Chains A and B, each alone.
Chain A
Amino acid sequence: MNVTKVWAAQLDDYAIDLAWSPEGRVLAVASAAGPVTLFDRANGRKRHELPGHANGTNAIAWMPQVERVVPHPPPALDDAAGPRAEGNRFLCLATGGQDGCVRWWDADAGSQVAETQLAAGAWIEPLAWRPVTANLKSQIPNPNLLAAAVGRKLLLLHPDGSVAQTFADAPKTLSALAWHPQGSCVAVAWFGGVCLWDADDFRVQRQYSYGSAIPALTWSPDGRWLVAGAQDNAVHLWLPEEDQEFHMSGYETKVRELSFSHDSRWLATGGARDACVWDCSGAGPEGREPLALPHTGRVCAVAYQRAHGCLATAAADHEVALWDPPRPQPLVASVKLTAPASKLAWSPDDTQLAIGSQQGGVLVLQVGT
């Protein structure tokens, strides 16, 4: 497999989040200090630097489906709204930070178009848009809905900045959030439990308890598995439709890194110096030996390609590795950075891997056979 550098850039601070726009032409990278930079995919040219959030930005998320949006800019932004203010279709990026706001940006114009004030000074994270399936698109003209967590509260927001639904407070601060791949419900986690909220009638679909904090949550692409990475050095899985649960413990530390392969078979996990990849087919992973992909430092990020079988992992030893896990010699390629990676993201077509680093570095690699 060929791995070549396409471009690199440097931010002012830790790259806290990084995401490709839905059609893949823009890479947004958020600095922990606040600013969000939009880069051209082809050459890394800076298209825009958005101010982001005072006191720091936590999360960014691209609206998955371009739609007609009538934004309601806050008074202070009236002048800056410009020619796109009135119900145009534009590439929308939502961001959350430490100023208690979700901010909505027009990524083409490079300007803020709306703001949702949730709680003064509160930290907003995580953010996730509802996946827009073909089915959903055919049912609803404006299917885009952003889930945002602030403290113990989950909210669903429309892209014009208005609140669609505020849910009852969870018992403790929300720590993770994951939409069902079909967009039918959103799962949230807090210390002690997980709740599945229905996206249409906003009622509780299911609720699970768990005796520890849950820093990470993910669904398998087929919607079968809901997986929690836990503070007590374990991974816990539920099969919501089948009322079953499974548990894998014995990790070196808390598990914050989770990623499923596109066919829902393989689950890659962090929480140790080896990235462990579990076979979730058939009866599930419990009791099976996972594939162990070794690093010399603790794993800090894992990301499977969206439609192919390559797994990228990053570790505290500054290494980023590419694997074909089921192969007897699974390592395909590896790269050494100048700092540990903070975030990995495959481009929508799986040909490029974007890597953000703890020292604010941005690196885009072309990965091809």
Chain B
Amino acid sequence: MSADTRIPVTVLTGFLGAGKTTLLNRILTEQHGRKLAVIENEFGEVGVDNQLVIQTDEEIFAMNNGCLCCTVRGDLLRILGRLLKRKDRLDGVLIETTGLADPGPVAQTFFNDPEIREAYRLEGIVTVVDAKHIVQHLDDGREAKEQVAFADVILLNKTDLVSAADLDRLEARLHRMNTMARIHRTRDCDLPIDRVLDIGGFNLSRATDLDPRFLDPEYPFEWAGVYELAAGAYELCLGHHDHEEGHGDGHEHDHGHEDGDGDHDHHHHGDTDELDVALLPVKSLDATDLAAARDVAVQVFSDWEKQVRPGEPVAPGTTLQRLRLTGGHGHFPVPIAQAGRYMLFTAHDVPTHLYAAGEILVRYVHDQTYRHEHSHDEEVASVGITMAGELDAKRLNDWIGGLLAKKGQDIFRCKGVLAVRGAEKKLVFQGVHMMFDAKFDQPWGGAPRTNVFVFIGRNLNREELLGGFKSCMVN
């Protein structure tokens, strides 16, 4: 594989005062000896001796196709073109944009013009966030949200000004908006510079770096409980029931910390006469083992479901089981062949009781909710999907084409690795709005053919995206 010798470009964005200039100067100082050009919008105190600093005014060129999201930065096209008129090529370009700049056109500038595409390689978009003020910015308007959404790397800066709890909350919120971005906490943009350069954020071959476990912070299940079971026949009862015994020990809306409150709302998503569950073996109650089981459950819940009618067994294993309920409740035998710990995941937080022979209630030794928090308040969010299986090339092409045409403006970035029937190699893709790029990259070899992709955007409908994706799968 030949090396990519194009000039690397890194885009730094973020509001005034977030720390971009500090970061820029650090890069220039550390990269002393390399010939870098800096293109800046705001007049900051940028510059180390002998570095080329160019001022620019944002100028948007709209493409002639009537699409509002198909825009490029005319001023950058001009400057980048002029920077090529050199005998000795530059070692890199840094573009600093203002907090009000739209990152979409900046990124698209690098894909639209053949001369620019052949000469420059967009490495990534680094967004510097002022931890103290970002919440205000996020609430004030769409610019800050977009800068977070488009980022490959987010520097959560000025951490010294914010409490640890607030930082945790903030980081979680940013991660929910953009699950693709690596978030680094910094005080003064102090981090090894290689975390912001050479990111490969738009490099198709690096799409395989996507870690499925970090993709979807919204779990597809709301509750899980761990049971220690001997081999035998059990019964799973869901919904309201009329057993008198063991009432207080069942999973009955209190979870140990909301006694008698009774204000748990059931999240009645969809059909209350259906409940997706999975019963997975788990090694221990250690956090790592629980997390491992949870991650397997995430994959299982994206998989094809097996319909289970009342009275049919619910078996342990990596099959998603869709239980049919009547009037919101049902009974299902659970045969356990092997003694051990089992973690039951349920899509919705409904009353759940497990009984051993003789109607003896089995208490869970651990439970956890995965309740969605503020997920519907955020306009910008990520939808990440992991699913085993193969895709039909034509259906995939039609679906993506239609999706981008219809929702291209709302989809800021997407990235993924797909398994296409008949293809030995992984199909890797990445996109900015409607500008979508894909190629066949490394062979799957012996690795399991798992599809992984993420969409970051505004007003995305997870069910719709998942449904559309599933419709492209080969049965």
Taking beta carbons and an 8 Å cutoff, which residues of A are in contact with B? 12-14, 16, 32-33, 55-56, 58, 121, 123, 151, 172-173, 175, 191, 211-213, 231-232, 252-254, 342, 358-360
Contact = CB atoms under 8 A, between A and B. Distances in A.
Given A121-B55, A173-B78, A253-B115, A14 B61 contact: no
20 contacts: A13-B87, A13-B88, A32-B87, A33-B86, A55-B52, A56-B82, A121-B55, A172-B59, A172-B61, A172-B74, A173-B74, A173-B75, A173-B78, A191-B59, A191-B74, A211-B64, A213-B61, A213-B74, A253-B114, A360-B87
Nearest to A16: B85
Interface residues of B, number: 18
B114 A32 contact: no
A254 to B, nearest CB: 7
Residue with the highest number of chain A CB atoms closer than 10 Å, among B57, B59, B78, B87? B87
Contacts of A151: 57
Nearest to A342: B85
A231 B57 CA distance: 20
Interface string B10-53: 00000000000000000000000000000000000000000010
Contact of B86 (A13, A55, A173, A232): A13
A150 to B, nearest CB: 13
Interface in B52-69: 52, 55, 57, 59, 61, 64
B95 interface: no
Contacts of B85: 14, 16, 32, 342, 358
B45 to A, nearest CB: 16
A58 B83 CA distance: 11
Contacts of A360: 87
Contacts of B82: 56, 58, 123
A212 B74 contact: no
Given A172-B59, A211-B64, A253-B114, A14 B77 contact: no
Given A14-B86, A14-B87, A32-B85, 10 more contacts: A12-B87, A32-B86, A32-B87, A123-B82, A151-B57, A173-B74, A173-B78, A191-B61, A231-B113, A253-B114
A151 B56 CA distance: 10
Nearest to A125: B82
Contacts, number: 50
Contacts of A358: 85, 87
B77 A213 contact: yes
Contacts of B55: 121
B87 A359 contact: yes
A14 B113 CA distance: 22
A359 B75 CA distance: 25
Contacts of A172: 59, 61, 74
Contacts of A253: 113-115
A83 to B, nearest CB: 36
Interface string B229-254: 00000000000000000000000000
Interface in B111-126: 113-115
A288 to B, nearest CB: 24
B57, B64, B77, B85: most-surrounded residue (chain A CB, <10 A): B85
A348 B132 CA distance: 66
A212 B57 CA distance: 19
**Which 6 pairs between the two chains have the least Cβ-Cβ distance?**
A211-B64, A32-B85, A13-B87, A14-B85, A253-B114, A191-B61
B41 to A, nearest CB: 14
Nearest to A211: B64
Contacts of A173: 59, 74-75, 78
Given A13-B86, A253-B114, A358-B87, A232 B64 contact: yes
B271 to A, nearest CB: 50
Given A14-B85, A253-B115, A358-B87, A212 B64 contact: yes
Contacts of B78: 173, 175
Interface in B193-226: none
Contacts of A175: 78
Contacts of A211: 64
A232 B108 CA distance: 15
Nearest to B114: A253
Contacts of B52: 55
Interface string B78-117: 1000100111100000000000000000000000011100
B56 to A, nearest CB: 10
Contacts of B115: 253-254
B71 to A, nearest CB: 11
Interface string B166-209: 00000000000000000000000000000000000000000000
A55 B303 CA distance: 59
B231 to A, nearest CB: 71
Contacts of B64: 211-212, 232
Contacts of B86: 13-14, 32-33
Contacts of A58: 82
Nearest to A360: B87
A212 B61 CA distance: 8
A245 to B, nearest CB: 16
A342 B82 CA distance: 12
A254 B87 contact: no
A355 to B, nearest CB: 16
Nearest to A32: B85
Contacts of B113: 231, 253-254
A213 B52 CA distance: 26
B463 to A, nearest CB: 38
Contacts of A13: 86-88
Contacts of B61: 172, 191, 212-213, 231
A244 B87 CA distance: 43
A199 to B, nearest CB: 26
B53 to A, nearest CB: 10
A117 B82 CA distance: 21
Nearest to A212: B64
B78 to A, nearest CB: 7
A43 B292 CA distance: 79
Nearest to B79: A123
Nearest to B115: A253
